[in-house]
Amino acid sequence: MEYAKLLQEYGPAQSEAQVAEEVARLGEIAVRNRTTEVYTFCYSAIDLTTLSCTDSVESVTELARKAVEFYERFPHIPNVASICIYPPFVETVGVAVDGTDMRITSVAGGFPSSQTFLEVKALEVGMAIENGADEIDIVLNVGKMLTGHYDEAASEVETIRAETDRDVVLKVIIESGALRTPELIRRASLLSMLAGADFVKTSTGKIDVAATPEAAVVMCRAIRDYFEKSGRRVGFKAAGGVRTPEDAALYYTIVEEILGPDWLTTDLFRIGASSAANNLLTAIEGHPVKFF
């Protein structure tokens, strides 16, 4: 498909100055969302993540065990949306969470650089799904985006989407910190959606610049514009650097203001986090909580 031509149907991104102005405005509004109710929802939208070179069957099992224990320890708080791990640990998590409604997310497709053969990417995604992953997070080829090879970047997503069942949620990470400009962030978001993404996600968390409110504003505007043309709702995921309850409330506000209340469900809004989980629990409970 000639994706670059499809981009012509959409207007340009806001300027950096316009984005900064909107972020400032939304930051002021976000104060109203620093509430227990919003923090509780944000906790339920977390993809509880461990993506370290030190991960092991033992450490991942312990994280999953704690997530399952949460149901009994905090029955008044909806549990996290999913556990996010590398592909070899999908079965490990599956065994640990069996009998619960916990979803399993796996990064795949050459995460975090996306620099491998497309066949390898598709195979890794397929193996993660075969082992029990409900959701897959892949990385858009940033090198191709930076050099203007938009059709090639989007076609990779299309190929991987074709290899997955429709009930598997596909999140595409655009690595917004590497793209830097509002225009490239907008194009990457639109290309991902046009190629079949169910979510667009800010970051891998593996480079210096992760999720930013500025990138979130641009991405959510692209999601809105895509919905207005296609009628298909695509979700937004902020990941990398989301640590405090105030961070979570700001991203919640960006989604609320740009996309509206229909997007404030865990089917369309996620937060990729590890440290944020305890910090949100502390805010919800009103005293220090170090559960994970």
Name the catalytic one among 137, 151, 198, 247.
137
Encode 45-91 in three state secondary structure.
CEEEECCCCCCCHHHHHHHHHHHHHHHHHCCCCCCCCEEEECHHHHH
Q: Are strands 199-201 and 169-173 parallel, antiparallel or unpaired?
A: parallel
Residue 75: asked if its preceding bond is cis (omega within 30°), the reply is: no
- CA pair distance 124, 217, nearest whole angstrom: 31
Q: Which residues contact 170 (CB under 8 A, 6 or more apart)?
A: 135, 136, 138, 157, 160, 161, 164, 196, 197, 198, 199
Q: Is 121 a catalytic residue?
A: no
CB proximity list for 286: less than 8 A, separation 6 or greater: none
Q: Which of 121, 144, 171, 201 is catalytic?
A: 201
Is 137 a catalytic site residue? Answer: yes
Instruction: Considering the candidates 121, 144, 171, 237, report the single residue annotated as catalytic.
Output: 237
237 assigned to active site: yes
**Residue 134, token pair as written in the block:** 């409900």
Report the distance separating Cα 73 and Cα 262, nearest Å.
Answer: 30
Q: Annotated catalytic sites, by residue?
A: 137, 201, 237
